[in-house]
Structure formats: C-alpha cells, structure tokens
A and B are shown apart, each in its own frame.
Chain A
Amino acid sequence: MKALAAAVLLFCAALAGRPGDVNDAAITGEALPPKLSDYRFFADLAAETPAARVMPYDLETPLFSDYATKHRFLYVPAGQKAGYQPVAALDLPVGSAIIKTFGYPQAGRFKPLETRLLLRRASGWVALPYVWNAEGSDALLKRAGTRIPVTFTDPSGAARSISYAVPNQNQCKDCHALAGAIAPIGVKARYLNHGGQLEKLRAGEMLDRLPADAPRVARWDDVRAPIDARARAYLEINCAHCHNPAGAASNSGLFLELGRRDPVAFGIGKRPVAAGRGSGGRDFAIAPGDPDASILVYRMESTDPGVAMPELGRATVHKEGVALMRQWIDSMPKSAPAR
C-alpha cells in the first residue's frame, strides 16, 4: 500500500520534471493545463524571467495587434533542435512551445493581458489562450476567449480606448491554419534573422544549422529600405496567414505571401469576390497609383467588423501601416487596366 502510494508519487514527479525546468509533460500531454504557471516556462512568471531553453525573440516586421506590446519566447526541449527552413517556419520538434504575451504599458509598467501558447504535441500543434488575472500573478485558460476594456496611448500620443479581444481557441486556428492543420506563423528564418537571434538559437543548441545566406525581410518601418520590400513584408506578416492558397482566405484568390509574383494574385487590378460591403464601392484590391480607389486601403482604414481586415484582433486602425500601404500604392505607375 505504502509502496503503491510512493510509486504514484514518483510517477507524478517524473511527469512534472525537476523544479526549475519547463514542465515538458504539460506541453506534450493530452490535458489542457488550466494555468500558465503549470508549464513553468518562467522561473519568475510575473517578472517574465525565462527558464532554461526559453529564448525571447522578436520579429523584424510584426503583425499589428491594436498597438499591443508583445513578448515572444520560443522553447525547444533539451536534446532537441529546431530544423532550419529557408522559407517555411522552423521545423520545431515535439515538445516545443511558442509563448506570446500581449499587453500594454500602464502607468509606466508593462501590464500583461493575455498569453497565447502554441504547443507542439505528437498529434500536431495546439493553440491555447490564457488570460491574466488582475494581480498579474498568473493567467488562466480561457478557451472561449473574452473581451477586456483597455485604454492606452498610441505612438502618436493619442489616447485610445478599445474593447480588446482575446481570441477563442477556434479563432487561434483561423489565423494559424495551413491546409486545415495549426501551424506557427512568425518563427521563420527571415523574420528572426536580426539582432543575432538565429545565432543565439544556434549557440544555445536549439537550431540545427544556420546557413550564412539565411534570408531577412525588410523592416516595415525602416525608411532606408525599398518601399516595395517594406510593403510586401508588412502584407505577408499581417495578411498572408489567411491570404494564401492553403489558408482561411484561399477562396478569395488574393494571395499575399512575400514570394507571390503574379500581380493580379497579390491584388493589382484584382476585383473583389466575396467582399460584400468590404469593397467600399471600389473596383480593385489595389488600384495602382490610387490608394483611395484601393479596397485594401479601405479595409485597413475601417474598424467595422463587416469591413475591417484583418478580421480578428484589430479594433484600431494602424495609422502607420496604412501610411505605408498608401505610399506603396501611390508609388506604382498608373497603368492601363487589365485587358
């Protein structure tokens, strides 16, 4: 009897791993851990002090999410490495996790609202949203998502009050689905390749190789970079997770990956298909030389749920992003319309 109890305890301890390490069983198990702290990604969760093999990173050009500040971390389990990929997302082994905390500076301090997890299980990726408690001590699983009223100051100094949307588990998949399966978006070599991040992953034995010619996207707000490269990087990271032939917007025929070369496919002279009032009475996704006649600009400038793009996670207009799109479209020669 005592022996049995001890065996159970031992079994539990084995599942939980050693204190101080990430709880690998929480990542790979079938359960949905109710608390963010259950994973032990952080030695100090409130201070976001990462545990071993939990690497902070950022993206050269990020997804706009209502001006939220995002803290991103990648975990690859001991003895394993991510497989380098030149175009696709890094090939992350079972047991890996991507951790992304969203929040806003409040009274000079970062206040987390939610943390989204992508867990690489044997059966594939699982996406889970966790919502922080008021004290900022832990976050709780909220599969159905929620809304949180937030007031913050945008980069132009304007105060904004929004109903911040924490996505539900299905909405995670809306953006992260590729041919029906959940997939990471941002952890691609070209988005990570700055500030020595890939080198750090390699040095930390978390990446299997790092070619000298690893690609790099333009920074969307780097005024020294070519406007076309900045605009296409912005469109890819903000839109292409749905707008690709295997994504949620495949039926639109509008495909915004960086490598897409057919002008109609990435919007030039492309008529709307199922846009409805999202067209704003305009004829083309992109009307070269004429941002005010371009549906893309209309939908980015709207916050109406039936019109706004992206459909999720945008209750504010990204003024600086719109300005980039306008400048890009303006720079295109007004050509004769197709055929």
Chain B
Amino acid sequence: MPRIWTLAALLVASPAAAQTVTIEAGPEAQERLQAALIEAKPGSVIRIGTGRFELTDGLSLDIDRVTVRGAGPDKTVLSFKGQLGAGEGLLVTSDHVVLRDFAVEDSKGDGIKSKGADNIVYKNLRVEWTGGPKETNGAYGVYPVSSTTILIDGVTVKGASDAGIYVGQSEQIVVRDSTVSGNVAGIEIENSRHADVFGNVATGNTGGILVFDLPNLPKMGGGDIRVFRNRVVDNDQPNFAPKGNIVASVRKGTGVLIMANDNVHVFDNDLSGNATSNVMIIAYPQKYEDAKYDPLPRRIMVSGNRHGRAGFAPQLPGADQLVAAFGGSIPPVLWSGAGDPASLRVTDPVPVLSMGLAPGAAPETAKPAPAKLAGAAVAQPPAIVLPAAMEAAAK
C-alpha cells in the first residue's frame, strides 16, 4: 500500500517551478553547465560559481525566463580557449533571459550571441580576447540579433575583430554605461530601429560608435536612434578586421560614424583624440543590388557635442595636403557628400568638411571642401522605455 501511494504521489507531483541551480568550477564543467542550461525551467536561476570554467564547446540556452548569474565579471570566467565546436561561446535563443556578472574569454567565434531572443538583459558582463587585438579573434563580443527589446548595461568588451557590442536587425534597444576598447568597432547598431546608446566609453578602438544599415538583409531601414552622453575618445587602434567585412573599411581614428540611416541624433557626447574624424556622416560606399535599400544618410542631427582634438591624422586620400590646407587638422565633422544636405544638420560649433563623393564613388575621386549642414531640425525620437522587469533585473 505505501508503495502505491508513493507511486501516486510521484505521478501527481508537479514539476518544480522556479529553482536555483549552482554550478561550480571543476572537472566536466562543459557537461554540467550545459545540462543545467538544458534542464532549466522557466523562472530558474543558474548560478555559476567563482573560478575558471574551461569549456570545449559552445554553450546554449533555449528556455524562456532563465537568469544566468556569475559571481562577477572578474570572478566567474568561462574560458573558450580550448573550444572545438560551435560559432560562439554562449548562444541564447529564448525570451526574457538575464545574463549577468560573468566573463566570456577567448571564444573562437562570437562571444555571446542571442538570436530571436526578446527582452534580453546583458548586465555587468565582460567579453574579452585576452591576447589583445588580433585578426584571429572572434567577430562580436555581445551579439543580440533579430530580437525586440534589448538591454546592454555595464558590459565590457575588448579585442573583437568586428564590433565589441553589436546589435543587428533588432528593435527597442538600450546600450548604456558600457566600456569598449581594443575592438575594430566599439559599439555598432546595424539594420536596427529605435535605439538609445548613452553613457558609454568607447576608447582605443578603430571606430568608437557606428550606426550602419546594409543591403540584402531581411531587416533594413535602420533609424530612430539617439547617441548621447558617451565618451568617444582616442580611438586609435589600427583596423584589424578581416577583409570583406564592412568594418574593415572603417578608418583608424573614427569617433561616431553614421551610415545609410534615418533620423539619428548625436548629442551631448565628449569627442576627442579621434585622428580621422569625431563624427562622420556617410552613404553606403559599396556596389550592391537591392531595390529596397536606401544607401543615403537622412535626417541626421548633430548637436551639443564637445569636440577635442580631431582630424589630425586622417586616413583619407590626400591626407597630407588636406591637413596642411586646414592648418594641422581637418574639421572634426566629416560628410561623404552624399544625401540631401537639407536633411542633415550639424549645430556643433565646429566646421564640417565634405568629401564631395557620390554614393559608391571611389574615395580617390573626392573633392574635399568645407560645407555647411543646416538642414531642417527634426524632433528627437522618444526615449526607449524598457519593461520594468528588465530594469529590475539590471539593478
């Protein structure tokens, strides 16, 4: 009789709801950690202990409403130095996930990728390639893509051979209070709409903050983006991106670069020490076939930024003559010359240089000349307001 009751109790016992599982460093970390990620229930917290976790394969999470939490970005280290498979260190494909307080080091491909993962929080993380900037480093540090509602807060990325923080083909994005250095691009918002990028420090990258739109992709038409209160300084890293990628064309010493986007507001930033330019506004420079794609910058508003030294060693054709002509440094705001000047507006108290380039024209055909961008003012898009649960998770 008791046995039967036990059986009955087992049959009716409901699966445990919210639970916390702790995984400590040690042997078979790969299997224990991956098993915890697979067996998690919605609401679960997976705590990763202090120490180094030597991993041989990419990890992945596909359960909604799971929190993965370490003991701190310098205490809990997921090392992928010995990685044998998978395109990234950690892959998230579920919604309402919180990643916080750990580090990912030396992944063979991207650091942390989340795809189709809505309402994701990246908080207090470090992603780093520990050998410094190298072409053989992975492309992206944190890489949310094809998602809606993304928070990246207090994240540090070093050494990405493409972008440290990359948000692609997404909507409703906040990237704040993060630090990116030694990457090709510090922060890149690509083919995305509705983003606030603020309070970040981008230094020692090839380019600091990039806002791009590219052709031939499922989601195009990037815009409604605010870039403000960032420190974008001394981005002096020689470009180490593998050729073929769009960021391989970013010139050393680029501060903020806006390409082929609509309604982008760059304001209240500290910009200095960027040898090519503090702010660049350009058209997509390559040949393409895509009738739905708009390669031009539209409604770009630059205002209230503080400009330090810039344009003193521009990576541009005829740089020496240009620098001499302008008395030691070219103007800190650069426009490629493509797009309707009536939709571009720069009210920073600094001069603007136009390169006089038609879209897709070779840089060698540039006809540089001072320009005034005094297009019609456009109201800023409203601030991105994230769900309260995401803000609470990032406390």
A interface residues (Cβ-Cβ under 8 A, vs B): 1, 4-5, 8, 143-147, 163, 165, 168-171, 173-174, 177, 180, 245, 248, 250-251, 253, 264-265, 269-284, 295, 304-307, 311-312, 315, 337-339
Contact = CB atoms under 8 A, between A and B. Distances in A.
Interface in B348-364: 360
B128 interface: no
B303 interface: no
B84 A165 contact: yes
Nearest to B33: A144
A338 B288 contact: yes
B111 to A, nearest CB: 11
B267 to A, nearest CB: 29
Given A144-B31, A163-B84, A338-B288, 20 more contacts: A4-B4, A144-B38, A169-B38, A173-B62, A250-B218, A251-B146, A251-B168, A251-B169, A253-B217, A269-B289, A273-B168, A274-B143, A276-B162, A277-B139, A278-B242, A280-B244, A281-B243, A305-B87, A311-B85, A339-B288
A170 B39 CA distance: 11
B300 interface: no
Contacts of A305: 58, 83-87, 108-109
B140 interface: yes
Contacts, number: 159
Interface in B30-69: 30-32, 34-35, 37-39, 56-58, 60-62
B243 A306 contact: no
Contacts of A338: 287-289
Interface in B130-179: 135-140, 143, 145-146, 161-162, 166, 168-169
Interface in B79-108: 83-87, 91, 93, 107-108
Nearest to A171: B60
What is the interface residue range for chain B against chain A? 35 or more
Nearest to B160: A276
Contact of A165 (B57, B109, B139, B145): B57
Which label, helix, strand, loop or mixed, suits the secondary structure of the A interface? loop
B360 A339 contact: yes
B352 to A, nearest CB: 29
Nearest to A339: B287
Contacts of A312: 85-86
Nearest to B84: A163
A143 B109 contact: no
A8 B139 contact: no
Contacts of B1: 1
A272 B168 CA distance: 14
Instruction: Provide the main secondary structure of the chain B interface.
Output: loop
A144 B34 contact: yes
Contacts of B290: 264
B120 interface: no
Interface in B296-331: none
Contacts of A245: 218
Contacts of B218: 245, 250-251, 253
A170 B138 contact: no
A133 to B, nearest CB: 17
Contact of B139 (A163, A275, A281): A275
A33 to B, nearest CB: 16
A2 to B, nearest CB: 11
A145 B86 contact: no
A302 to B, nearest CB: 11
B61 A170 contact: yes
Interface in B208-257: 214, 216-219, 241-246
Interface string B239-280: 001111110000000000000000000000000000000000
17 contacts: A144-B38, A170-B91, A173-B62, A173-B93, A251-B115, A251-B219, A253-B216, A264-B216, A276-B110, A276-B139, A277-B242, A279-B244, A284-B244, A311-B85, A315-B84, A315-B85, A337-B287
A1 to B, nearest CB: 7
Given A280-B244, A282-B243, A147 B60 contact: no
Q: Which of A143, A165, A245, A271 has the most CB of B within 10 A?
A: A271
B22 interface: no
Contact of A279 (B31, B242, B287): B242
A276 B7 contact: no
Contacts of A284: 244
Contact of B145 (A180, A251, A265): A251
B286 interface: yes
A140 to B, nearest CB: 13
A173 B37 CA distance: 14
Contacts of B288: 271, 338-339
A180 B139 CA distance: 25
